[in-house]
């Protein structure tokens, strides 16, 4: 799994003119799932996201997590995070999980993050043409790959 975490002061997702999820302060998380991802990847990544200390403390140092700040998450499925770009100019997406594998893991990630935060996670709609808006705070953007834990 790959996640792009963006610290935001606001973010929302719209599908067909309807807002499917919106948050104030917190993280916009773009989540890519590949064919060889498993429950262990999901659990590790969910813990990492919730405990990522990239909010300012009283000394203006990045030292506080979502749980410390009562932050929110907007979770967006993003198969393009596994784009293969080495050959030519048109990316390939063969490493991205097919929906029959990706949808259950995406839904499990929603459940896991909600449980860790003790509140609902805002979402987009898997596979939909989504319009995502955000106010990137900082900007702070972090990339995490579960296949690169070391």
The string of pLDDT tens digits covering residues 4-54 is 999 999 999 999 999 999 999 999 999 999 999 999 999 999 999 999 999
Q: Is residue 45 one of the residues assigned to a domain?
A: yes
Q: Is residue 40 one of the residues assigned to a domain?
A: yes
Query: Three-state SS string across 16-50, please?
Result: CCEEEEEECCEEEEEEECECCCCHHHHHHHHHHHH
Whether residue 150 is predicted with pLDDT greater than 80 in this model: the reply is no
Active site residue 94: no
More confident residue, 42 or 90: 42
Q: Which one from 14, 67, 69, 80 is the annotated catalytic residue? A: 80
* CATH assignment of the domain containing 46: 3.50.80.10
Provide the 8-state DSSP code for 80: G
Total number of domains in the chain: 1
For residue 101, what pLDDT is reported? 95
Domain that holds residue 83: 2-145
For residue 87, what pLDDT is reported? 87
* Predicted TM-score (pTM) of this structure: 0.94
Q: Is residue 22 one of the residues assigned to a domain?
A: yes
Using CA atoms, how far apart are residues 78 and 76, in angstroms rounded to an integer? 6
- At a CB cut-off of 8 Å and minimum separation 6, what does 128 contact? 15, 16, 20
Q: Is residue 150 one of the residues assigned to a domain?
A: no
């Amino acid at each position: 799994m790959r996640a792009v975490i963006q610290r935001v002061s606001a973010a929302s997702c719209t599908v067909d003119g309807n807002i499917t999820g919106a948050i104030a302060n917190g993280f916009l998380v773009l989540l890519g799932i590949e064919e060889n991802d498993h429950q262990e990847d999901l659990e590790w990544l969910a813990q990492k996201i919730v405990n990522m200390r990239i909010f300012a403390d009283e000394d203006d140092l990045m030292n506080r997590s979502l749980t410390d700040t009562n932050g929110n998450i907007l979770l967006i499925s993003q198969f393009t995070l596994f784009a293969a770009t080495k050959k030519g100019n048109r990316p390939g997406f063969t490493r991205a999980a097919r929906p029959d594998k990706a949808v259950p893991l995406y839904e499990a990630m929603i459940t896991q993050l909600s449980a860790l935060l003790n509140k609902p996670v805002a979402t987009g709609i898997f596979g939909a043409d989504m319009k995502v808006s955000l106010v990137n705070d900082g900007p702070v953007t972090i990339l995490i790959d579960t296949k690169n834990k070391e």
